[in-house]
Structure 1
Amino acid sequence: MDRERIVIVEGITDKKKLKKVLDEDIEIICTHGTLGVERMEELIFDFNLDDRTVYILVDEDDSGNKLRKQLTEELPHAEHIYIDKAFREVAATPEPELARALLSRHFSVKPIYLI
């Protein structure tokens, strides 16, 4: 497992979708929506987020944008992965589209999705 990189997503369906497309073992954590200050601090501490390469992949909707803004404030070093606004949700994004977004950040994806 790549201990340096970690991806933050909103929900469990997003995490499952990512695991389906990725061809490497990357730690993925779910926020389950926006975070309170205490929960945010727990995540940063528990996953050592200040010292890791953090990627943020959230839905392109109001709650996703709010979460992205919150995470950006707490983790200014984080890199962002964006999905096409037409799909709105990470879980609803077609696998080939998600694979392209991940490839743009140098993740290894399963070749079947590179059609």
Structure 2
Amino acid sequence: MDGERIVIVEGITDKKKLNKVLDEEIEIICTHGTLGIERMEEMILDHNLDDRTVYILVDEDDSGYKLRKQLTEELPHAEHIYIDKAFREVAATPEPELARALLSRHFNVKSIYLI
């Protein structure tokens, strides 16, 4: 994969949280929950996901597990970013914790969150 990186999250609050922590321009797309086959195919085609480096960052709850499984089946090359189960939701994860998770995948994060 030498395409541009892209992150898949569940909702708009997750996207806002990532944008707050990231110190680089990365395309972030929201699934708004699990996807039907048509929506999944549209997303893959619209964002050229088969030829890009894809990261999956979803909540650590039942709907997040279901979505992660679904995305993994369709995008086997995707890399996974995990948050601590204690926070359950990406949007509820403290910025320093999220920054560490993103750093582990070589994203640039704002130094203010590196405590």
Into which bin does the TM-score normalised by the smaller protein fall? over 0.9
User: Equivalents in 1 of 2:33, 2:96: separation in Å?
Assistant: 25
CA contact (8 A) 2:9 2:57 kept: yes
Task: Give a deviation string over 1:59-111, Cα, whole Å, max 9, x none.
Answer: 00000000000000000000000000000000000000000000000000000
User: Equivalents in 1 of 2:38, 2:12: separation in Å?
Assistant: 21
Aligned to 2:72: 72
CA contact (8 A) 1:2 1:26 kept: no
Segments of 4+ moved more than 6 angstroms: none
Secondary structure, counterpart of 1:2 in structure 2: coil
- Percent identity, aligned pairs only, is 91
TM-score (norm 2): 0.98
Displacement after TM superposition at 1:29 (Å): 0.0
Structure 1 residues not aligned, in runs of 5+: none
User: Equivalents in 1 of 2:38, 2:109: separation in Å?
Assistant: 34
Structure 2 residues not aligned, in runs of 5+: none
Task: Give a deviation string over 1:2-35, Cα, whole Å, max 9, x none.
Answer: 9610000000000000000000000000000000
Number of residue-to-residue matches in the alignment: 115
Q: RMSD of the TM alignment (CA)?
A: 1.9
Change (3 A) 1:2 1:21: farther
1:114 maps onto 2:107 in alignment:
no
Secondary structure, counterpart of 1:59 in structure 2: coil
User: Equivalents in 2 of 1:7, 1:35: separation in Å?
Assistant: 16
TM-score (norm 1): 0.98
CA contact (8 A) 2:2 2:52 kept: no
Task: Give a deviation string over 1:35-72, Cα, whole Å, max 9, x none.
Answer: 00000000000000000000000000000000000000
